[in-house]
């Protein structure tokens, strides 16, 4: 059996799907690394809602989180993978946080939740930015979840220099009840975050970032770095105070960063671990035994898929993530909050299917093939 997939220049080619999925185990907790998957939300395709209303299928959304917990991964909730700021507003994110943290307690799963300022509209003052952060921090801490202080579009717009970042983050860290994860998301993920930490020069921005951490090391569990620059992450990781972790958010270079070197390693908080969840957990369990070579043999082949999903414009990687969740049977449809299923062209989606199938990511390859054929038919590609 073959499937006809679109290729470059409008061509069509035959692809033979694999007959059997890869086999992944569940159960044993991960030991050597702390690993979070930034999880997507499942839209409700039957909701009679306009494009500005985030209609979420809560049952399917929570079921996917149980899937991740079953494989030993933590869930990073209400992050950019959940379309935070790209279809999911603060009201939707707040409800997602409340529901997911309750589900985490029931399932015994680890969870950390994004704290931002996305309830603000229009131009905001620094005082308003701080108050917005405080409101969201109070909600997350009230659920018992760990807080992830996300990069803020409003702060990027309001800040006049590094001192404003030092002031806002210093205030938040002083009042945080428990150590938080600081989140540095590069402009490739969100153009509105260009110049974060007070400078478009990444070397200068790094110094400000480190100053924030050095002033409050007891309140920083770790940092999540999403700059897609492995060398920069390693250099930053080596300069962190004792006890402060680095959670890689580098969806291009994660195997080498998690494996580490003689001077240390990165933990993980990754959007690509949404579709890779079972495989990623399997790889980390191998790493728990000290077998770095086998870990790399498992995880290195996934990088081609990850780089494909996160190709420019990188912020639309969520479309490929949701496509793969549908093809894998985690949801019954390929629709997204805000209609973002249309954000990637068909050849991109077809290549994502091919790469994921080659890795054995679909528990039922026949279902994945049938669903992909239905999508191709919708676009006018006969099989």
Cβ contacts of 18 within 8 Å, gap of 6 or more: 357, 358, 360, 365
Radius of gyration of the chain (CA): 20
Q: Specify burial of residue 367 (Cβ count, 10 A radius: 0-12, 13-18, 19+).
A: middle
pLDDT in tens, 120-151: 998 999 999 999 999 999 999 999 999 999 99
Q: Nearest to residue 77, comparing CAs of 60, 56, 96, 90? A: 96
| CB-side neighbour CA atoms (13 Å) of 340 | 27
On whether the CB atoms of residues 149 and 128 are closer than 8 A, the answer is: no
Query: Mean pLDDT across the stretch 2-30?
Result: 91
Please give the average per-residue pLDDT across 24-44, as a whole number: 93
Please state, in angstroms and rounded to a whole number, the distance separating the CA atoms of residues 220 and 173.
8
Mean pLDDT (whole number) for 74-101: 96
pLDDT digits (tens, 9 = 90+) for 182-204: 999 999 999 999 999 999 999 99
Closest CA to 257 of 286, 240, 236, 239: 236
Q: pLDDT band at residue 9, thresholds of 50, 70 and 90? A: confident
- The yes-or-no verdict on residue 54 having pLDDT over 90 is no
- Helices H, strands E: what count in the chain? 14, 10
* pLDDT range class, residue 51, cuts 50, 70, 90: low
What pLDDT sits at residue 183? 96
Question: Which band of pLDDT confidence, cut at 50, 70 and 90, is reported for residue 28?
Answer: confident
CB atoms within 10 A of CB 1: 7
57 within 8 A of 42, measured Cβ to Cβ: yes
pLDDT at 50 over 80: no
d(CA 303, CA 296): 11
Give buried/exposed letters for 267-286 (b at 16+ CB in 10 A, else e).
bbbbbbbbbbbbbbbbbbbb
Question: What value does the mean pLDDT take over residues 213-217?
Answer: 97
Whole-number Å distance between alpha carbons of 238 and 316? 31
Query: pTM of the full predicted structure?
Result: 0.96
Average pLDDT over residues 162-167: 98
Residue 25, pLDDT score: 84
CA angle 212–217–218, rounded 5-degree value: 135
Please give the average per-residue pLDDT across 303-308, as a whole number: 98
Neighbours of 191 (CB within 10 A): 12
Going by C-alpha positions, the residue among 204, 230, 214 that lies closest to residue 182 is 214
Residues above pLDDT 90, as percent of the chain: 94
Q: Is the pLDDT of residue 61 over 90?
A: yes
Instruction: Identify the CA nearest to 54 among candidates 330, 322, 340.
Output: 340
| Residue 351: strand, helix, or coil | helix
Residues 6+ apart with CB under 8 A from 200: 194
Q: Which helix (H) or strand (E) holds 248?
A: strand 245-248
By CB atoms closer than 10 A (0-12, 13-18, 19+), residue 383 is exposed
Positive or negative, the CA dihedral 293, 297, 299, 303 is: positive
Residue 27 has pLDDT above 80, yes or no: no
Distance CA 306, CA 361 (A): 13
Q: Which of 47-56, 58-67, 102-111, 241-250 is least confident?
A: 47-56
For 38, the token pair is 């930034």
Token code pair at residue 56: 């979420």
Section 109-116 average pLDDT: 98
CA-CA-CA-CA torsion sign (288, 271, 76, 273): negative
> Is the pLDDT reported for residue 10 higher than 90?
no
Q: Is a pLDDT exceeding 80 seen at residue 53?
A: no
Q: What is the mean pLDDT of the chain?
A: 96
Mean pLDDT, rounded, for 261-278: 98
Structure tokens at 249: 């958010």
- For the segment 58-87, the average pLDDT, to the nearest whole number, is 97
């Amino acid at each position: 059996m073959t499937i006809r997939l679109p290729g470059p220049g409008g061509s069509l080619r035959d692809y033979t799907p694999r007959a059997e999925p890869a086999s992944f185990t569940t159960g044993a907790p991960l030991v050597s690394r702390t690993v979070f998957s930034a999880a997507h939300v499942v839209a409700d395709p039957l909701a009679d809602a306009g494009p500005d209303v985030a209609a979420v299928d809560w049952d399917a959304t929570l079921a996917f989180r149980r899937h991740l917990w079953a494989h030993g991964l933590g869930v990073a909730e209400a992050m950019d993978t959940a379309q935070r700021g790209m279809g999911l507003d603060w009201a939707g994110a707040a409800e997602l946080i409340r529901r997911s943290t309750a589900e985490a307690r029931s399932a015994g799963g680890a969870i950390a939740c994004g704290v931002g300022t996305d309830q603000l509209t229009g131009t905001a003052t620094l005082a308003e930015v701080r108050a917005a952060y405080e409101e969201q921090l109070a909600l997350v801490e009230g659920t018992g979840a760990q807080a992830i202080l996300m990069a803020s579009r409003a702060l990027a717009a309001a800040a006049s220099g590094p001192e404003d970042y030092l002031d806002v983050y210093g205030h938040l860290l002083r009042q945080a009840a428990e150590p938080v994860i600081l989140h540095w998301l590069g402009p490739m993920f969100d153009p509105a975050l260009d110049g974060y930490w007070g400078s478009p020069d990444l070397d200068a921005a790094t110094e400000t970032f480190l100053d924030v951490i050095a002033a409050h090391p007891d309140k920083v569990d770790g940092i999540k770095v999403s700059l897609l620059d492995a060398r920069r992450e390693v250099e930053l990781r080596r300069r962190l105070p004792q006890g402060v972790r680095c959670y890689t958010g580098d969806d291009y270079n994660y195997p080498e960063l998690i494996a580490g070197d003689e001077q240390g390693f990165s933990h993980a908080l990754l959007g690509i671990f949404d579709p890779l969840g079972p495989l990623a957990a399997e790889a980390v369990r191998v790493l728990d035994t000290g077998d770095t070579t086998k870990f790399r043999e498992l995880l290195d082949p996934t990088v081609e898929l990850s780089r494909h999903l996160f190709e420019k414009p990188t912020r639309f990687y969520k479309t490929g993530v949701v496509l793969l969740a549908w093809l894998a049977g985690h949801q019954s449809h390929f629709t997204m909050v805000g209609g973002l299923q249309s954000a990637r062209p068909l050849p991109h989606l077809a290549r994502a299917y091919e790469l994921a199938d080659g890795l054995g990511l679909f528990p039922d390859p026949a279902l994945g093939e049938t669903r992909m054929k239905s999508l191709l038919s919708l676009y006018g590609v006969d099989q």
